[in-house]
Amino acid sequence: MGELEDLRRRVAELEQRLHTVQTQAETVEREAALQMARALDLNARLSVILSLSAALPNSRDVDTVVRLIIRETATLFPGTSATHFFLVDHERNTLVLRASDKPNMLITHPMQGLAGKAILSPRAMLLVGPELELALNDLEPEHLAELRHSMREWPPQSALIAPLRVDSQRFGAIVLYGGVHAHLYHPRDIPFIQALADLAAVSIDELNQRTRAAALQRDLALTQSLHAEAEARLNTAQAQLLQSAKLAAVGELSASVAHEINNPLYAARNSLYLVEQDLAADDPQRAFLTIAQQELGRIARIITRMRDFYRPTRAELASTSINVLLRETLELVQTHLRHSHINAVTELGSDIPAIIAHADQLRQVFLNIILNACDAMPDGGDLRVRTRMLQARHEAPTTIEIDICDTGAGIPPEHLPHLFEPFYTTKTHGTGLGLAISAHIISQHNGRILVESEVCQGSTFSILLPTNLST
């Protein structure tokens, strides 16, 4: 009996142990299945991350990156009820929702709520319970209402947030709201959202850099072409100036030579005339006299042509507005004025009539005098350009007065009488022709140039042009 009892007890014991072992085996089996499921899950997630990291560098714009990320979050994080992708608008200091898993949703709000928290956090975070509630309540009521309206599940049970940052630069945030079937995110999800955010951040940063580089490249090309254009224009202008200065010098020279020849020519021709008076009509020498007279006549004609070369012909004369010419000239030198810190003021009379004149030559005169004024003000100053009508008496002819005043160094009295002489200059690099040519041009227009100057006070060049020009 005792033996039977003993056997029964042992059987029960063994059954008991078998049961325990069975339970243990089940537990181990469940655990193995769980681990297997996790491994599969991890594998799936890793392959998503890998395919993203392969696809993102080929994306051509930020929107494509954002769309790819949004699409993959559904695979990576099951139970997600909403995915929000924010980018910072640095100018307005706000967050702009660039994409979500719902189309046509647009949220803009200051750095508040989960996105605000995400952008400020150093790394990805999991928010649950009171922490999540607190972050949501951080939003302005209208923003909260907007958010609530946009979500299927409310309130969210948990959330994953991650900043988009490269080095110390923050430019956005990813926010995932969990909540479908009361699903809770797990701390295991944090490295994945971090990886996703980092991938997105690097891609967007690279795209931004590329855009910026392209813009810089464009700017550079534009600047270069503008520079080349300006240089070409400057070269042309300089060549023209040089050419006209040379021409003027040649003209000045030929005019003075022509004038100097007139006296001897006059004496020689009329000497022959006086000799001719005393010569008998049939004198054989008369033939030579005639030749000499004809040849001197030829010289006279050559001299006249030479002298006329320097004078504007009638064809070049046209109706000209002095005010328009002055404005054009000032526009021509405005960069120069700005660089020299010269403040130009114009007082152009409204009653200045158009005159018959050689516009290019007058422009050269104004340019000469204005540039001289600039040279007299190396440390900046005021340039005043004024036009007005003058009339001595009621019936007298009218004159246009053009005053160009500077507040520069002034002209020492000993230089004043020589100002308009050719090749007279006080500048190191001056040709001494500018004012000589100017005076010549103005006198060709029957006008006059007057100078008033006081050392250390400034100079005023006044050009007087009659309105009834006849050259």
Cα distance between residue 284 and residue 372, in whole Å: 63
Is there binding between residue 104 and other proteins (CB under 8 A)?
no
Cα distance between residue 333 and residue 374, in whole Å: 10
The full DSSP string for 138-149 is TS-HHHHHHHHH
* Binds other proteins by CB under 8 A, chosen from 444, 460, 462, 467: 444
Determine contact, residues 96/87, Cβ cutoff 8 Å: yes
Q: Least Å distance between CB 436 and other proteins? A: 14
Measured in degrees and rounded to the nearest 5, phi and psi for residue 352 equal -80, 120
Task: Considering only CA atoms, give the Rg of the chain.
Answer: 48
Q: Least Å distance between CB 308 and other proteins? A: 8
Residues 199-218 that bind other proteins (CB under 8 A): none
In the bound state with other proteins, the residue whose beta carbon lies nearer, of 20 and 270, is 270
* Binds other proteins by CB under 8 A, chosen from 208, 321, 446, 462: 446
Cα distance between residue 289 and residue 350, in whole Å: 62
How far from chain centre, in Å, is Cα 327? 25
Is there binding between residue 93 and other proteins (CB under 8 A)?
no
Sign of the Cα torsion 91, 93, 98, 102 reads: negative
- Under rule CB under 8 A, how many of the chain's residues touch other proteins? 26
Three-class SS state of 68? helix
Is there binding between residue 259 and other proteins (CB under 8 A)?
yes
Q: Least Å distance between CB 251 and other proteins? A: 12
Question: Angle at Cα 378 formed by Cα 374 and Cα 380, nearest 5°?
Answer: 80
* Binds other proteins by CB under 8 A, chosen from 35, 75, 270, 290: 270
Is there binding between residue 470 and other proteins (CB under 8 A)?
yes
Cα distance between residue 164 and residue 407, in whole Å: 60
Cα distance between residue 60 and residue 40, in whole Å: 32
Residues 311-330 that bind other proteins (CB under 8 A): 311
CB atoms within 10 A of CB 106: 10
Cα distance between residue 400 and residue 390, in whole Å: 6
Q: Least Å distance between CB 471 and other proteins? A: 5
In the bound state with other proteins, the residue whose beta carbon lies nearer, of 129 and 264, is 264
Is there binding between residue 45 and other proteins (CB under 8 A)?
no
In the bound state with other proteins, the residue whose beta carbon lies nearer, of 201 and 441, is 441
Structure tokens at 182: 């009361």
Stretch that binds other proteins, among 76-84, 95-103, 172-180, 293-301 (CB under 8 A): 293-301
Is there binding between residue 27 and other proteins (CB under 8 A)?
no
The full DSSP string for 150-196 is H-SSSS-SEEEEEEEEETTEEEEEEEEEE-GGG----GGGHHHHHHH
In the bound state with other proteins, the residue whose beta carbon lies nearer, of 165 and 307, is 307
Is there binding between residue 263 and other proteins (CB under 8 A)?
yes
Is there binding between residue 457 and other proteins (CB under 8 A)?
no
Is there binding between residue 264 and other proteins (CB under 8 A)?
yes
CB atoms within 10 A of CB 355: 21
Measured in degrees and rounded to the nearest 5, phi and psi for residue 416 equal -55, -45
Is there binding between residue 418 and other proteins (CB under 8 A)?
no
Determine contact, residues 410/453, Cβ cutoff 8 Å: yes
Exposed/middle/buried for residue 320 (C-beta within 10 Å: 0-12, 13-18, 19+): buried
In the bound state with other proteins, the residue whose beta carbon lies nearer, of 1 and 392, is 392
Stretch that binds other proteins, among 18-26, 47-55, 256-264, 345-353 (CB under 8 A): 256-264
How far from chain centre, in Å, is Cα 20? 83
Stretch that binds other proteins, among 153-161, 197-205, 240-248, 439-447 (CB under 8 A): 439-447
In the bound state with other proteins, the residue whose beta carbon lies nearer, of 431 and 444, is 444
Stretch that binds other proteins, among 186-194, 296-304, 400-408, 423-431 (CB under 8 A): 296-304
Which run of H or E residues covers position 365?
A: helix 359-375
Q: Least Å distance between CB 361 and other proteins? A: 13
Is there binding between residue 423 and other proteins (CB under 8 A)?
no
Is there binding between residue 467 and other proteins (CB under 8 A)?
no
Which run of H or E residues covers position 458?
A: strand 458-466
* Binds other proteins by CB under 8 A, chosen from 271, 290, 391, 426: 271
Is there binding between residue 398 and other proteins (CB under 8 A)?
no
Q: Least Å distance between CB 260 and other proteins? A: 8
Measured in degrees and rounded to the nearest 5, phi and psi for residue 176 equal -115, 125
* Binds other proteins by CB under 8 A, chosen from 265, 292, 344, 464: 265
* Binds other proteins by CB under 8 A, chosen from 307, 372, 437, 465: 307
Kindly list the residues in this chain that would bind other proteins in the complex (CB under 8 A): 256, 259-260, 262-267, 269-271, 273-274, 277, 297, 300-301, 304, 307, 311, 443-444, 446, 470-471
